[in-house]
Amino acid sequence: MQVDWSIMIDFIPQLLAGAKVTIYITVLGLIGGIILGVIAGLMRAYGGKILNAIAFTYIELIRGTPIVVQVMFLYFALPVLADIRIDPMSAAVLAIVVNAGAYIAEIVRGAFLSIHKGLTEAGLAIGMPHWQVLLYIVGPLAFRRLIPPLGNQFIVSLKDTSLFIVIGVGELTRTGQEIMAANFRAVEIWTAVAICYLIMTGTMTIALRAIEKRMRIL
Amino acid sequence: MSFIEFKNTSKSFGPLQVLTEVDLSIEQGEVVVLIGPSGSGKSTLLRCINGLEMITGGDLIVDGLSVTAGKKTLREIRKEAGMVFQQFNLFPQMTALQNVALGPRKVRGLSRTEAETQAQELLDKVGLSDKGGHYPSELSGGQQQRVAIARALAVKPKVMLFDEPTSALDPELKQEVLNVMLQLAKEGMTMVVVTHEMSFAKQVGTRLIFMEHGKIAVDDDPRRVIDTPPNPRMKDFLSHVE
Ligand SMILES: Nc1ncnc2c1ncn2[C@@H]1O[C@H](COP(=O)(O)OP(=O)(O)OP(=O)(O)O)[C@@H](O)[C@H]1O
Ligand SMILES: [Mg+2]
């Protein structure tokens, strides 16, 4: 079969719909992942023995297993174990939340602990309670250091959504496969899919660079 | 009761005993200068007063409150005891004025305007009237340390703790910090100062304490003991300092 780049135009609408689903899963998943990650990361950095152990177990469970297994577990095993049925879309979002949350937790912990201890002591020494020191002094400083590794995780999570093909979520990669099944235009389709991913990750990179530039790393 | 009272106070880091059964009373208005070899426990003694280190034996009373009485009491003590660090430890994301105003706002409950007005007065006092809008990275070491002193004073402490406040400074910058400290001493501020600046001890010190292996080896009038040290190791130490 001859490669014909012009037919790429024909699947643009379908690919855009797939990309929309990818973006939807990524954005929702990362919002949840950031919340979960901040909580777990702070538990690791400042929690007592028990909180620390809980967060540690969660992080290691997730980091030690592939995301495909995690989403399979959520979608197929959870309904059997507990009587919870979830649709593929929710399973996909939840998988990103839980997965990104673990990696973000380590990023958050690292960023907070990298802030010079003397600043915490200076805050405590003026009589501020520890939570205020974290909120007003350490947090804002840690936030600046969080941005580069967090951006990296955003891109990883976006690409990870392609693995949800295994539970049949109609995201970008799945869409590519469906078109492919209809017309066998492998070169054109996978090139177009790759370009779609590059546009999304590229936009993220540019946005993050802009934020990084505006914030001095202190 | 004295303003600060170490009662048989000990402090260990795991197996390492750093303070051994220290008894020490400090009254209001005193300027106590702490000296001693590296590792003798000067910083630890100072940091026990405001609970940055928790004592492991005996008791330590500050303004009638025990440092072992729990978090809330500790915060009360910290409001009464300002601390100045060797490395300044200014908050880098805040201007000098914001650094000074933070404590009063969060700890003393002042409004932003009240806190900033008071912060400006303190910056005037330490000779930095026009530096309020500068970030720490835009200030010299001596200026940063003076902001740090203003930040500690802003919470209206009854005692000021200094841990080698001029050691990180170039010689030509030390004096501007020492001048602020001399001024404070003359105003009657209670001070506990770890420093190697013997001129400071002679000018305003009411007591000189020489520490050795976590114990107080000498505790006397600075003018008497600096020139004629009562202890050979102190004599040796002083000859290295000056
Ligand atoms: N957080 C800590 N954990 C373990 N050991 C510590 C800690 N802080 C201090 N030490 C140890 O306690 C001893 C006394 O330390 P301290 O800082 O009080 O000495 P110092 O007299 O201030 O010395 P320097 O003149 O070097 O500042 C040292 O042996 C030090 O290594
Ligand atoms: Mg020290």
pLDDT of B39-61, one tens digit each?
999 999 999 999 999 999 999 99
Give the per-residue pLDDT at A84. Answer: 83
From the candidates B53, B75, B76, B110, which should be mutated to test the interface with A, based on the most A CB atoms within 10 A? B75
Could you state, in order of their start, the residue ranges of all structural domains in chain B? 4-241
State phi, psi for B158 to the nearest 5 degrees: -95, -20
Tell how far the Cα of A8 is from the centroid of ligand 1, in angstroms.
69
Mean pLDDT of chain B: 95
A210 lies in some domain? no
Q: Tell whether A116 is within 8 A of chain B (Cβ).
A: yes
Long-range contacts of B130-138 (CB under 8 A, 24+ apart): B131/B96, B132/B95, B132/B96, B132/B97, B133/B95, B133/B96, B133/B97, B134/B95, B134/B96, B135/B92, B135/B93, B135/B94, B135/B95, B135/B96, B136/B88, B136/B90, B136/B91, B136/B92, B136/B96, B136/B99, B137/A218, B137/B92
Tens digit of pLDDT for each residue in B130-142?
A: 999 999 999 999 9
pLDDT at B82 over 70: yes
Chain B residues within an 8 Å CB radius of A137: 91
Residues facing B34 on adjacent strands: B194, B209
Nearest CA to ligand 1 atom 16: B41
Judge: B91–A122 Cβ closer than 8 Å, yes or no: yes
Predicted local distance difference test score (pLDDT) of residue B1 = 82
Q: What is the ipTM of this complex?
A: 0.94
| Residue at A139 is within a domain | yes
Give Rg (Cα) of chain A: 21
- Of the residues B10, B12, B13, which should be mutated to test ligand 1's pocket, given the most ligand atoms within 8 Å of the CB? B13
Residue B111 CB neighbour total at 10 angstroms = 10
- End-to-end Cα separation, chain A, in angstroms: 57
B144 near B136, Cβ under 8 Å?
yes
Domain of A105: which CATH number?
1.10.3720.10
Which ligand lies nearest to the CA atom of residue B35 in the structure? 1
Hey, which CATH number is domain B4-241, 3.40.640.10, 3.40.50.300, 3.30.420.40, 3.30.465.10?
A: 3.40.50.300
Closest residue by CA, ligand 1 atom 26: B38
Q: Which residues of A touch B78 (CB under 8 A)?
A: 124-127
For A118, phi then psi, to 5°, come to: -60, -30
- Enclosing H/E stretch for B88: none
Residue B242 has pLDDT above 80, yes or no: no
pLDDT tens for B201-225 read 999 999 999 999 999 999 999 999 9
pLDDT for residue A10 = 87
Pocket test for ligand 1, best of B11, B40, B47 (most atoms within 8 A of CB): B40
Q: Alpha-carbon distance A202 to A207, whole Å?
A: 9
Mapping DSSP to helix (H, G, I), strand (E, B) and coil, where does residue B192 land? strand
Inter-chain contacts counted by CB atoms under 8 A, chains A and B = 61
Ligand 2 geometric centre to CA of B204 (Å): 21
- Domain of residue A162 covers 20-168
CB A130 within 8 A of CB A194: no
Residue ranges of chain A whose pLDDT lies below 50: none
Q: Is any Cβ of chain B less than 8 angstroms from the Cβ of A113?
A: no
pTM of the model: 0.89
Whether A217 is covered by a domain: the verdict is no
Residue B119 tokens read as 């912060």
Q: Is residue A9 part of a domain?
A: no
Q: CA-CA-CA-CA torsion for B47, B49, B54, B60, nearest 10 degrees?
A: 150
Say how many domains are in chain A: 1
Pairing of the two strands B31-35 and B57-62 = unpaired
What integer pLDDT is reported at residue B188 of this predicted model?
96
- pLDDT recorded at residue A49: 96
* CB of B207 closer than 8 Å to CB of B47: no
